[in-house]
Structure 1
Amino acid sequence: MLPLTDTFQRKFYYLRLSITDVCNFRCTYCLPDGYRPNKDRDSFLSVDEIARVAQAFGQLGTTKIRLTGGEPSMRRDFSDIIAAIHQQPAIKQIAMTTNGYRLAKEAANWRAAGLSAVNVSLDSLDARQFHQITGQNKFTEVMAGIDASLEAGFPVVKINVVLMKHLTQQLPEFLDWIKHRPLQLRFIELMETGEGNDYFAKHHLSGEHLRRQLVDQGWQLVARAPDAGPAQLFSHPDYQGQIGLIMPYDKDFCDSCNRLRVSAIGKLHLCLFGEQGIDLRDLLHADDQQPLLQARIQSSLANKKQTHFLHQGMTGMARNLSYIGG
């Protein structure tokens, strides 16, 4: 099956699938006031509905699905979700993005269920600052979870760090940490959202500043795989770990877009910063709706825009990054 292709000839191998918008952390750049339930919101997709989403995208050329939230492991049926997607032969990689609080206990179980890659959010190597950023005193548990992920056999564990001004002082510490560990440290530019304008103005730091530092220190750009995420990946002969830069404000960022998003209530989002979303849920009730489901997904790509327009301050429907999985 040929991959999904939009009108700009971008091919889409990668689906980011949110399974909940609930999160137990209160990160300052995402949910500073904590999770606020929406009583009017539809229920989250069931395991069967998630399996039908995976089947449809798999038959349309998708090879990688990343499970996101909120915090995806807040779902009690998380292992069942992994196993259901793992049954789809077209899906070669199942990844998750997590705050890491359950990893120490569950990494091996999730690996056995079919999970193949883990991204852990970790915005500081200082326990006190970690607590300030996340609102949770869970630094020790998250670090233990990272170790447990390596022990469980995940070939590379990725560490997501939101790039903010204060991190420039901590870069040497992060580099020392990955020197002898097979970790991929990914610095992600802080993105402006509807509820985070003031925070963005105060803390945003361009990834270009960090890219110049890395190149000056001998880090070299690595070739990008077709189903890889948006990171520019760098390696160094003296380091076992790697560094990735995700820079949505880079002028060419959207040229290599290869991912679509489905929210936890079954809406297809063509862009993290798009509007509203296209409802798929009415076609997720039975297996015999697959042809209609795939046709709706395919036809929706005609509406995907060339860029996200973040440079113009347009944040779309993204009130915060937990809403459709960041």
Structure 2
Amino acid sequence: MLVDNHGRKINYLRLAVTDRCNLRCFYCMPEDGLNWLSRTELMSYEEMLRATTLLVKMGIEKIRITGGEPFVRKDIMKLLTTLSQLNGLKELSITTNGVLTAPHVAEMKALGIRSVNLSLDTLDANRFFAITRRDEFADVMTTLDELLKHDFEVKINAVVMDGRNTQDIIPIVELTKDLPVSVRFIEEMPFNGDEDSYRGVVWDHVRILDEITDHYPQIQKLVDPAYSTAYNYQIPGHKGSVGIIAAYSRTFCGTCNRIRITPQGTLKNCLYDDGVLNIKDLMRSGASDGEIEKYLLNAFNHRSVDGWEAERLRVEKTGVHESMATIGG
């Protein structure tokens, strides 16, 4: 079992397989995209498999594949197939924007993948285009239908943005009436790839809950699962549930069980740190698995107590305005 210097269990890896994305959501990246990593800068699938195999042996039990958008990377299903066979891995899941996902749903189910997080910030096609700068709403909704048809555990992630989609909060909540989905509203964060445009969170978790409660005063608090990043609720009579993630307020750091590996192989102990170790570089320098394990254990023994400390430690060096696509969701 992996335990950090604050006594927190580490058993969850978010592995970003690419920085590239087929959408241009304004809260994630500039309209003209990013300076994409070259092929040699990215971890190869072989390097990802080596790193994940080692981490699973050390105590990682759950891996979530993120991006960028995972399905824009060539042969992603081959990687998912290999990861699904890792001895000791209890859960493999995916976060996707849904644009390219629908054709792969049946195969994902066959691999034993049960949970998919679908990014969907609005149920209005025009607002979808305004937010993402791409006309892909119909394909995302097709993916949602396919996931439900194949009985996936579906979590719909919606970033709440002042002046952009707050009118969608209640319509998205209403999805839970007839669909067995968890809709999760996420505070907007500063990871938009533009150091000048983020002005802080306007709709925090308290305000989001107030908006929902005004329409559904009967909403009930659920018991949050261990390590949950969301405050979870249910409206009586609804099939699904509602979650609110205080991603900017960072109220869940005390039970954080997750680490991240970016597309270029950088280990992040926290969403808000600037990386603590480059696993890809260690591999390419000839380090053995035993040597890499020692580096990893040392990194885990120096985790920040929370996201605020992680931000303070990096802010003078790089700030916190990188794109979420380069971090790994």
- Structure 1 and Structure 2 fold alike (TM over 0.5): yes
Residue number in structure 1 paired with 2:244: 245
CA–CA distance in structure 1, aligned partners of residues 238 and 271 of structure 2:
33
SS in 2 for 1:323: helix
CA–CA distance in structure 2, aligned partners of residues 248 and 254 of structure 1:
10
Tell me which moved more, 275-284 or 175-184: 275-284
Q: Percent identity?
A: 31
Tell me which moved more, 18-27 or 211-220: 211-220
Residue number in structure 1 paired with 2:7: 9
CA–CA distance in structure 1, aligned partners of residues 127 and 42 of structure 2:
33
The amino acid that maps onto 2:183 is L
Residue-by-residue CA offset, 1:39-84 (whole Å, 9 max, x unaligned): 6784322222111222112112211111111101111211111111
The amino acid that maps onto 2:297 is Q
Report if the CA contact (8 A) 1:272-1:318 is conserved.
no
Matches within 5 A, 1:128-139: 128-139=126-137
Residue number in structure 2 paired with 1:319: 322
Aligned length: 322
CA–CA distance in structure 2, aligned partners of residues 183 and 286 of structure 1:
45
Residue number in structure 2 paired with 1:175: 173
Residue number in structure 2 paired with 1:225: 225
Residue number in structure 2 paired with 1:108: 106
CA–CA distance in structure 2, aligned partners of residues 214 and 124 of structure 1:
16
Residue number in structure 2 paired with 1:279: 278
1:103 positional shift? 2.0
1:236 positional shift? 2.5
CA–CA distance in structure 2, aligned partners of residues 293 and 119 of structure 1:
31
Residue-by-residue CA offset, 1:204-254 (whole Å, 9 max, x unaligned): 31111122344562333333334x551222222221111111103436331
1:316 positional shift? 4.2
SS in 1 for 2:46: helix
5+ unaligned residues in a row in structure 2: which ranges? none
Tell me which moved more, 62-71 or 282-291: 282-291
Change over 3 Å in CA distance of 1:39–1:239 after alignment to 2: closer
Please, what TM-score do these two structures have when normalized by structure 2? 0.89
1:24 positional shift? 1.1
Please, what TM-score do these two structures have when normalized by structure 1? 0.89
1:277 positional shift? 3.2
5+ unaligned residues in a row in structure 1: which ranges? none
Residue number in structure 2 paired with 1:63: 61
CA–CA distance in structure 1, aligned partners of residues 67 and 187 of structure 2:
19
Change over 3 Å in CA distance of 1:38–1:79 after alignment to 2: closer
Residue number in structure 1 paired with 2:191: 193
Report if the CA contact (8 A) 1:185-1:244 is conserved.
yes
1:15 positional shift? 0.6
SS in 1 for 2:52: helix
Residue number in structure 1 paired with 2:154: 157
